């Protein structure tokens, strides 16, 4: 017999050996010796009150053997001589599109503008230390995409888009910790994810797929509204019948290319703002109602905040407990910041994007001359402004949180995890009023919700501008572009995902659609 039940374990009992089995026996009113195993299905923390509780969803096996392996299996075929599907981009959408192609018996040929995970490290070092951005290899571009070196969070609300569990099980199959199958907010970590990405690459190559790094696509050959070939930066032309376009939210050159070729695009609403960084102990003390060091059983505390301000949402985005702020620019002459955490989330700081919703149809009237690219141009202008305010390097403009809200230049700044460094700047007056004014009100309201959050010990750092793409690429019900036969827009770059898991699921769906009729 197998029973699924919920258990609540106070933190004072969490260390007790066999506590889950004892509690399960009590709830089910059976003898503990009849329970042959307790498998944790889900674990979360309830820290709303001073008495912190661990919530467990468990499967209890009574007089029945627990299974030793997962019910999921991944059967990859030899596709070295199979029909090809071309995939542009090797982030989560591209990787999972490639894996799904192999499962279905088709050969993925992946074209990635950036470098593999090992070689990307040198270019990340160049951004942080030399303030130089390689436009094809950075925190956004390269093997694994933006998530590889900026956290590896696996949060998703896309439960209706596909089998979320399958994506998680596949990550475990490729080396991720099984803990991601259990945690309410699963996270692999920037230090662990590159190895998982490398294992996925090896699976694809082992089964006959191809992956070409440093192969930026510069043109599409289209005849009679049908895709015929892909042209690369070295002028190589590759015949292509089916192409999955999984280039991510920052591949601006692709949007410009499609627009130039009069291939339909759509303007899309998005969000922009700043990163805020607190000492982690402040967030711990607020969330865990503690003074001093948090209990060793508790992870670095996170938070989620949202506030309506003048008809627009102001909310936390990509919150990174025990993490770092990183430079996520994809070109020289711009400042973009993002956040990440290592797997242990043991850094001294907690950072989060705090962003303002932008309705592309109502809020960007001065940018109408740019048509469907109006959001992209607005985004670019804010990043250039941050670059100038930071001193025209990757040094980022920053301000103490309280000074930003009160409209004062900060004479000094707090220590910060952002490696290229900070420069004091009047962000309260530099940011567009539409964004800056709402952020100031939002931070004040957040301080009321979390006592201690509004503090001069926190910095805000600009700008957080790449929450999602400001452009979407339309597609029909079969996921093909309505105008170009053989083109399948995919993932965050197409406007159909918002993170690793949703992008991976969309990649699988696009692979399933692209092979139809091949």
The predicted structure's pLDDT at residue 14: 93
Of 340, 387, 352, give the one whose Cα is nearest residue 464: 352
The answer as to whether 28 is a domain residue is: yes
The position carrying tokens 């009100």 is 441
Query: Are residues 124 and 207 part of one domain?
Result: yes
Helix axes 92-103, 164-173, angle to 10 degrees: 90
Query: Are residues 381 and 450 part of one domain?
Result: yes
Q: Report residue 401 as tokens.
A: 């949180």
The 8-class DSSP code of residue 256 comes to: H
201-225, pLDDT tens digit by residue? 999 999 999 999 999 999 999 999 9
Query: Are residues 426 and 307 part of one domain?
Result: yes
CATH number at residue 38: 3.30.70.2700
The predicted structure's pLDDT at residue 184: 87
Query: Are residues 485 and 421 part of one domain?
Result: no
The position carrying tokens 């990550």 is 171
Query: Are residues 307 and 236 part of one domain?
Result: no
Structural domain including 16 reads 2-62
Per the structure, the count of domains in the chain is 3
The predicted structure's pLDDT at residue 453: 98
Give the separation between CA 316 and CA 352, rounded to whole angstroms.
Answer: 6
The answer as to whether 323 is a domain residue is: yes
The answer as to whether 76 is a domain residue is: no
Query: Are residues 431 and 313 part of one domain?
Result: yes
Query: Are residues 9 and 103 part of one domain?
Result: no
The answer as to whether 71 is a domain residue is: no
Query: Are residues 479 and 383 part of one domain?
Result: no
Query: Are residues 249 and 189 part of one domain?
Result: yes
Query: Are residues 29 and 98 part of one domain?
Result: no
The answer as to whether 37 is a domain residue is: yes
Handedness of CA 224, 225, 228, 234 (dihedral sign): positive
Residues of the chain with pLDDT under 50: none
CATH number at residue 165: 3.50.50.60
Query: Are residues 230 and 113 part of one domain?
Result: yes
Give the separation between CA 284 and CA 164, rounded to whole angstroms.
Answer: 30
The predicted structure's pLDDT at residue 147: 81
State the pTM of this model. 0.95
Query: Are residues 277 and 245 part of one domain?
Result: no
């Amino acid at each position: 017999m197998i029973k699924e039940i919920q258990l609540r374990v106070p933190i004072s009992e969490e260390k007790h050996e066999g506590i889950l089995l004892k509690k399960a026996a009590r709830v089910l009113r059976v003898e503990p010796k009849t329970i042959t195993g307790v498998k944790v299905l889900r674990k979360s923390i309830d820290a709303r009150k001073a008495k912190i509780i661990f919530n467990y969803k468990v499967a209890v096996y009574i007089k029945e053997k627990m299974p030793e392996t997962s019910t999921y299996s991944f059967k990859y075929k030899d596709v070295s001589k199979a029909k090809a599907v071309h995939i542009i981009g090797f982030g989560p959408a591209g990787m999972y599109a490639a894996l799904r192609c192999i499962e279905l018996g088709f050969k993925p040929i992946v074209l990635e503008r950036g470098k593999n995970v090992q070689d990307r490290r040198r270019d990340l070092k160049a951004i942080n230390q030399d303030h130089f951005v390689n436009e094809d290899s950075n925190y956004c571009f390269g093997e694994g995409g933006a998530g590889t070196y900026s956290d590896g969070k696996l949060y998703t609300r896309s439960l209706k888009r596909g089998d979320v569990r399958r994506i998680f099980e596949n990550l475990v199959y490729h080396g991720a910790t099984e803990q991601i199958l259990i945690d309410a907010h699963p996270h692999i970590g920037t230090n662990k994810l590159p190895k998982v990405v490398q294992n996925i690459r090896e699976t694809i190559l082992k089964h006959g797929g191809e992956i070409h790094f440093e192969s930026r696509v510069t043109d599409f050959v289209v005849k009679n509204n049908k895709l015929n070939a892909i042209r690369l930066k070295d002028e190589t032309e590759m015949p292509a019948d089916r192409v999955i376009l999984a280039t991510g939210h920052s591949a601006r050159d692709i949007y410009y290319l499609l627009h130039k070729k009069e291939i339909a695009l759509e303007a899309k609403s998005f969000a922009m703002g700043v990163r805020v960084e607190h000492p982690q102990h402040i967030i711990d003390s607020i969330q865990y109602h503690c003074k001093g060091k948090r209990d060793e059983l508790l992870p670095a505390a996170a938070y989620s905040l949202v506030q309506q301000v003048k008809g627009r949402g102001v909310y936390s985005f990509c919150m990174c407990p025990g993490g770092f702020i990183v430079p996520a620019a994809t070109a020289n002459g711009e400042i973009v910041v993002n956040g990440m955490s290592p797997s242990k989330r043991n850094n001294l700081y907690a950072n989060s994007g705090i962003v303002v919703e932008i309705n592309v149809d109502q809020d960007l009237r001065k940018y109408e001359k740019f048509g469907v690219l109006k959001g992209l141009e607005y985004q670019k202008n804010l990043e250039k402004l941050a670059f100038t305010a930071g001193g025209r390097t990757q040094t980022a403009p920053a301000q103490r949180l309280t000074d930003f809200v009160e409209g004062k230049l900060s004479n000094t700044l707090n220590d910060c995890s952002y490696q290229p460094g900070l420069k004091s700047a009047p962000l309260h007056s530099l940011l567009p009023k539409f964004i800056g004014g709402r952020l100031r009100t939002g931070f004040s309201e957040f301080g009321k919700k979390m006592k201690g959050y509004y503090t001069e010990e926190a910095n805000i750092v600009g700008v957080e501008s790449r929450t999602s793409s400001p452009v979407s690429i339309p597609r029909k019900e079969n996921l093909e572009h309505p105008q170009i036969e053989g083109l399948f827009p995919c993932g965050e770059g197409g406007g159909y995902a918002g993170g690793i898991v949703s992008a991976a699921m969309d990649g699988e769906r696009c692979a399933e659609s692209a092979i139809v009729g091949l």
